[in-house]
A and B are shown apart, each in its own frame.
Chain A
Amino acid sequence: MNKWTKFVACLVAALGLFHAASVQAVIHSGTICQPWAGSQGSDIWADYNRILNNSSDTRIVSCPLVRTNTTNTNGTSMVYVRVERSSLATQSLSCSLYSFDLLGGYVESDFATYSGIGRTSLYLDVDSSASVGYYGIYCYLPEYSSIFSIRVEEF
């Protein structure tokens, strides 16, 4: 390993440590998600510490997120939604991260989608947030698909 390789490796390690020190992370179980419509409650199961759409149609779920840094206005560092799209699904699995002000006013949103089969992570982040506002996630969950967890990284 020559000196430049060592220098780059040290730089990357230092940046990684700086990032880890400056970001606050909270991980939620997928079971925090709730059906968008109460009438669809029986289709959404909270089994095995995940949320599952156990119906043959797409369902929307709403997931509240705990905000640790309550006053920053530059949004989130990154939000990871760990999901599984069933092989029986006919539509894509998509999620939107929303940033609201404290009275529910829309500030910003980001969207990600997955059309493959199996497990993956959707990456979302918003660049703007309101001081003492809040975050939420909405997902279009195709048939027999799941959300396992949501990791929220804040500045």
Chain B
Amino acid sequence: MKTLNRLSLVLALGWIPIAVYWFVQHPDGDRPEEPASAASHASTTGQLTPQVVPGPVDPAPAQAPPTATPDATEDVRALRRELDALRQDVSRLQGSLASIAAAVATPVEAATDDPWPPEHETDAHFEAESAARDRREQAIENAMALERPDPGWSRDAREVIHDAINSEELAGARLLDVDCRASICRVEALHESPESVAHFQHLFPARVGELMPRSTMRVHDEGQGVTRSVVYLAREGYRLPQGVP
């Protein structure tokens, strides 16, 4: 029992030197200052805080004297207004840039959408034109097949055609055949050169135009530079059949 009492006394008195030592080391009871305390201090004095403006904070305003606090608040408000205005300007500029980019891009896109070659330069177009000419030629031939020659007019027409092709002006053309009915004549001629064909095309209709004002013509390549032209001429007062479109 005595032993137990002594031990209790030693433990009770043993805390005294420890407490004295701690008191000597920390006489004011202060703790090391935490960074957050500075921030909370600044917020209470109206200084910029990380929550308002992202990014590094200039420590200088936090160290400004208390007399500068009201002016700094106004500055912050002005800066905020200026920032808002700048944001609006940036937004407008982005919109303008987008519209300019769209305007510049539109013609390029339209150009790339245009078919090439154009429709009127394609083989399909030429084939369609040729088919239409074939149909018309067939329609004229069909109409001629239903006609009988008009003795007086047919004779006169043949004479005019012979005279025209035998003229010096159309010397490059050689007459192959002439068939004149009541209102239509069919003329076949041979040409030894492209120049002769062009000359014949442009001058022959005028040479026979008084008796047969309307004409149409097909040109066939016979090979080896030789061309055969077939001309259909309509009697004055008549029109050549058009054929089914």
CA distance A98 to B205 in the complex (A): 10
Interface size on B, residues (CB 8 A): 23
Whether the pair A111, B214 counts as a contact (CB closer than 8 A) is: yes
CA distance A106 to B129 in the complex (A): 12
Q: Which residues of A contact B149 (CB under 8 A)?
A: none
For A75, give the chain B residue with the smallest CB separation: B242
CB distance from B110 to the nearest CB of A (A): 21
CB distance from A155 to the nearest CB of B (A): 14
Whether the pair A127, B240 counts as a contact (CB closer than 8 A) is: yes
Whether the pair A132, B215 counts as a contact (CB closer than 8 A) is: no
For A107, give the chain B residue with the smallest CB separation: B216
A55 contacts the other chain (CB 8 A)? no
Q: A111-B209, A140-B206 are in contact. Are A131 and B120 (CB under 8 A)?
A: yes
B160 contacts the other chain (CB 8 A)? no
CB distance from A126 to the nearest CB of B (A): 8
B90 contacts the other chain (CB 8 A)? no
Interface size on A, residues (CB 8 A): 25
CA distance A73 to B239 in the complex (A): 16
CA distance A113 to B211 in the complex (A): 11
CB distance from A101 to the nearest CB of B (A): 6
Q: Which residues of A contact B217 (CB under 8 A)?
A: 106
CB distance from A145 to the nearest CB of B (A): 16
Given contacts A108-B214, A138-B206, 19 further A-B contacts (CB under 8 A): A74-B242, A94-B206, A94-B210, A98-B202, A98-B205, A102-B120, A104-B198, A106-B216, A107-B216, A108-B215, A109-B216, A110-B213, A111-B205, A111-B214, A127-B240, A128-B216, A132-B120, A132-B125, A140-B206
Q: Which residues of A contact B (CB under 8 A)?
A: 73-74, 94, 96, 98, 101-102, 104-113, 126-128, 130-132, 138, 140
Q: Which residues of B contact A (CB under 8 A)?
A: 120, 125, 129, 132-133, 136, 198, 201-202, 205-206, 209-210, 213-217, 219, 239-240, 242, 245
Can you show 15 pairs from A to B with CB atoms below 8 A apart? A73-B132, A74-B242, A94-B206, A94-B209, A96-B205, A102-B120, A109-B215, A109-B216, A111-B205, A111-B206, A111-B210, A111-B215, A112-B209, A128-B136, A138-B202
